[in-house]
């Protein structure tokens, strides 16, 4: 190559290689169970630290898998009144509530045309095994509207085989729009406070517009409601990874 | 408050109480105090010494201890006297013991008669004029006066109350925490007084407690967590019914 001056071109060092650290990126995306994050309040942090120690102890004995609302789980509990002394229930996880040791999750299934919901405590000693049968997230974090949906959306085969997970990467989001039974419903799901995206509303236009009257557009700008958990989460993740490796 | 589970899988609610910098401050003999037993003044929770005058620091200086937020008295028999200045730890109590807990209840301010005393009030409709939460009649005609102690609106809460007969489920010696059954009066992080139970049913429940108290510099080495026999420990496998 000949430059405009007639002198040899200036030495351009090769570009530095950009190192993408896949391991740290993977850790950032790893799942932290929501009951580990302490709620906002005036309780001393020591209480949450001690609760977390107990939770980690229990997790070392019983493997609690990563699951979200919308997964289909099978839970085996100890029951003194059953013939086998153990009971297995399969259902879709509707909601996850509670913090700390009292964390719960509700499983829903329709058995012989009767809807059944059972609320299990994650850290109860009666639970013998939790298996994830089907991994899929839904559009909402709270699937309580399945109570007012057609029963076909809540029925799951009790003897379902676990669906194998493809790669250890993202969990698929099922963009299913559920059809509802005729009104009245247990809650007015069309109202914006529930912010439900997973229902196919077959209501007339004027009713959907009337429901928007109850919208509170100022809520997302309310600064007092902000609860930034990124630093707390990072600390807890570090603590968890250290303790579980022991 | 936290849940704990028994070995049979039943859930109980438990309150965590932290023993924070408790020291014995002074010994008052039976004749000095004029009561039936000797008294020990105990102080808890260190606090800055700059907000009170020097005269208030005398007790703490004698014991050689920083200023405490609260000083309480415990009635004590003669064989359980402790030297002033000794620290008191959570290991003073053992799992399986029964305990009374005293604290100031949450203050609700000036409250009406329905919330304060549980009166039924009046109906919401059917002609009631401006009367829905009022006490109604306060005395009879013949009495011609209102009796002393008549339940009326006033300041509710912020008074000392005791919960009796609470079982101690677990003790954490590293962080000095006592796990006590059920709920306890007071708001979160409030100061609380814990004593051995005075109920006659639990008179013989305390077998071989650390007497007069648990001394940290003694020979006894306790594990980090002391559990009651019936409690489910998370190191055990899940509960199964045979």
The CATH number given to whatever domain includes residue B188 is 2.40.30
CB contact B232 to A (< 8 Å): yes
- pLDDT at residue A127 greater than cutoff 70: yes
**Contact check, Cβ <8 Å, A102/B2:** yes
Question: Is the pLDDT score of B206 beyond 90?
Answer: no
Tokens describing residue B48:
């800055």
Question: Does residue B27 sit in the same domain as residue B106?
Answer: no
The mean predicted confidence, pLDDT, of chain A is 88
> Same domain, yes or no, for B226 and B157?
yes
CB of B216 less than 8 A from some CB of A:
no
Look at residue B166 in the predicted model and tell me its pLDDT: 95
Residue B205 located in a structural domain: yes
- Which residue in the set B2, B18, B189 is minimally distant from A51, CB to CB? B2
Q: Do B188 and A41 touch (CB under 8 A)?
A: yes
Residue A39 near chain B (CB below 8 Å): no
Residues B66 and B157 in one domain: no
pLDDT for residue A3 is more than 80: no
Choice between A11 and B137, residue whose per-residue pLDDT is larger: B137
Dig out the tokens for A197 from the structure.
């995206």
The answer to whether the Cβ–Cβ distance between A46 and B189 falls below 8 Å is no
In Å, how far is A61's CA from the nearest CA of chain B?
6
Q: Do B172 and B217 share a domain, yes or no? A: yes
- Nearest Cβ partner for A43 among B9, B188, B236: B188
What global pTM score does this model have?
Answer: 0.86
Question: Taking CA atoms, what residue in A is nearest to B190?
Answer: A43
- In chain A, the N- to C-terminal Cα span, in Å, equals 61
Residue B11 at interface with chain A, using a CB cutoff of 8 Å: yes
> What are the chain B neighbours of A126 within 8 Å (beta carbons)?
9, 238-239
Q: What is the pLDDT of residues B81-129, one digit of tens each?
A: 899 999 999 999 999 999 999 999 999 999 999 999 999 999 999 988 8
Q: Is residue B116 part of a domain?
A: yes
| Residue B52 backbone dihedrals phi, psi, to 5 degrees | -130, 155
Q: What is the ipTM of this complex?
A: 0.89
Say yes or no for a CB contact (<8 Å) between A41 and B16.
no
Question: Who among A41, A43, A128 is closest to B238 (CB)?
Answer: A128
Of A46, A47, A125, Cβ closest to residue B232:
A125
Sheet architecture: strand order including A104-111: A114-121, A104-111, A86-97, A72-78, A127-134
- Residues of A in Cβ contact (< 8 Å) with B242: 85
Whether B174 and B61 share a structural domain: no
CATH of domain A45-240: 2.30.30.790
B116 with B169, same domain: the answer is: yes
H or E, element range at A231: helix A230-245
From A54, which residue of chain B is nearest by alpha-carbon distance?
Answer: B234
Same domain, B108 and B173: yes
Residue B237 resides in a domain: yes
Q: How far is A97 from chain B (nearest CA, A)?
A: 15
Query: Is A51 in contact with B9 (Cβ distance < 8 A)?
Result: no
Predicted confidence (pLDDT) per residue in A46-93, tens digit:
999 999 999 999 999 998 988 899 999 999 999 888 887 888 999 999
> Per the domain annotation, does B143 fall within a domain?
no
The count of domains in chain B is: 2
As given in the structure block, the two tokens for residue B192 are 């609380």
Could you say which of B172, B177, B234 has the minimum Cβ distance to residue A58? B234
Neighbouring CB atoms inside 10 A of B19's CB total 22
Average pLDDT in chain B: 91
Separation between Cα atoms, residue B21 and residue A68, nearest integer Å: 43
Task: Answer yes or no: do B5 and B59 share one domain.
Answer: no
Q: Which of B15, B241, B242 to mutate to test the interface with A (most CBs of A within 10 A)?
A: B241
Q: Using CA atoms, how far apart are residues A187 and A193, in angstroms rounded to an integer?
A: 11
> Testing the interface with B: which of A50, A75, A125 to mutate, by most B Cβ within 10 A?
A125
- Looking at the fold, whether B185 and B224 belong to one and the same domain comes out as yes
Q: Which residues pair with A84 in a beta bridge?
A: none
Q: What is the pLDDT of residues A146-198, one digit of tens each?
A: 999 999 999 999 998 888 877 667 788 989 899 999 989 999 999 999 999 98
Q: Are residues B165 and B100 in the same domain?
A: yes
**Angle at which helices A45-61 and A230-245 pack, to 10 degrees?**
40
What residues have CB less than 8 Å from B156, skipping those under 6 apart? B107, B108, B109, B110, B111, B115, B116
Answer whether B2 sits within 8 Å of A47, measured CB to CB: yes
Closest partner CB to A62 (pick from B9, B18, B238): B238
Residue B78 sits in a domain whose CATH number is 3.30.160.810
Range of the domain at B30: 21-88
Residue A85 to residue B16, Cβ atoms within 8 A: no
Q: Any CB–CB contact under 8 A between B118 and chain A?
A: no
**Cα distance between residue A126 and residue A80, in whole Å:** 10
From residue B162, alpha-carbon distances to A35, A196, B166 in Å are: 33, 47, 10
B235 contact A CB<8A: yes
Cα separation, B60 vs B43, whole angstroms: 9
- Do B183 and B75 belong to one domain? no
| DSSP conformational letter for B6 | B
């Amino acid at each position: 190559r000949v430059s405009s001056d007639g002198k040899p071109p200036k030495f351009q060092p090769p570009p530095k290689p950009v190192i993408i650290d896949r391991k740290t990126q993977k850790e950032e995306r790893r799942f932290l169970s929501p009951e580990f994050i302490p709620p906002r309040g005036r309780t001393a942090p020591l209480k949450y630290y001690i609760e977390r120690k107990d939770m980690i102890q229990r997790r070392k004995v019983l493997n609690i898998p990563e699951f979200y609302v919308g997964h289909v789980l099978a839970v085996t509990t100890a029951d003194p009144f059953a013939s086998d002394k153990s009971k297995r229930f399969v259902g879709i996880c509707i909601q996850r509530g509670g913090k700390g040791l009292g964390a719960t999750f509700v499983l829903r299934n329709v058995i012989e045309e009767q809807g059944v919901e059972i609320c299990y405590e994650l850290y109860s000693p009666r639970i013998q095994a939790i298996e994830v049968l089907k991994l899929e997230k839904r559009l909402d974090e709270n699937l309580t509207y399945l109570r007012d949906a057609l029963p076909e959306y809540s029925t799951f085969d009790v003897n379902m085989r676990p669906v194998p997970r493809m790669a250890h990467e993202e969990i698929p989001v099922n963009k299913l729009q559920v059809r509802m039974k005729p009104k009245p419903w247990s809650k007015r799901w069309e109202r914006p406070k529930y912010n439900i995206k997973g229902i196919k509303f077959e209501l007339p236009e004027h009713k959907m517009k009337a429901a928007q009257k109850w919208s509170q557009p100022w809520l997302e700008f309310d600064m007092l409601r902000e609860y930034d958990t990124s630093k707390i989460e990072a600390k807890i993740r570090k603590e968890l990874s250290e303790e579980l490796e022991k | 408050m936290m849940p704990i589970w028994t070995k049979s899988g039943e859930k109980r609610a438990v309150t965590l109480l932290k023993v924070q910098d408790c020291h014995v401050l002074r010994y008052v003999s039976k004749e000095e105090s004029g009561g039936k037993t000797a008294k020990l003044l105990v102080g808890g929770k260190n606090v800055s010494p700059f907000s009170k005058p020097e005269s208030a620091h005398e007790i703490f200086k004698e014991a050689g201890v920083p200023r405490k937020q609260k000083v309480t008295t415990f009635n004590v028999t003669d064989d359980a006297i402790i030297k002033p200045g000794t620290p008191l730890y959570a290991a003073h109590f053992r799992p399986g013991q029964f305990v009374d807990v005293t604290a100031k209840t949450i203050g609700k301010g000036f409250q009406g008669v329905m919330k304060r005393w549980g009166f039924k009030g009046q109906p919401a409709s059917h002609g009631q004029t401006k009367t829905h939460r009022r006490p109604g009649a306060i005395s009879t005609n013949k009495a011609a006066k209102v009796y002393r102690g008549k339940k009326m609106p006033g300041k509710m809460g912020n008074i000392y109350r005791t919960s009796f007969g609470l079982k101690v489920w677990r003790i954490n010696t590293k962080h000095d925490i006592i796990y006590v059954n059920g709920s306890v009066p007071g708001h979160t992080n409030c100061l609380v007084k814990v004593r051995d139970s005075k109920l006659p049913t639990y008179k013989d429940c305390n077998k071989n407690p650390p007497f007069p108290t648990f001394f940290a510099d003694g020979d006894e080495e306790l594990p980090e967590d002391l559990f009651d026999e019936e409690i489910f420990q998370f190191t055990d496998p899940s509960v199964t019914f045979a």
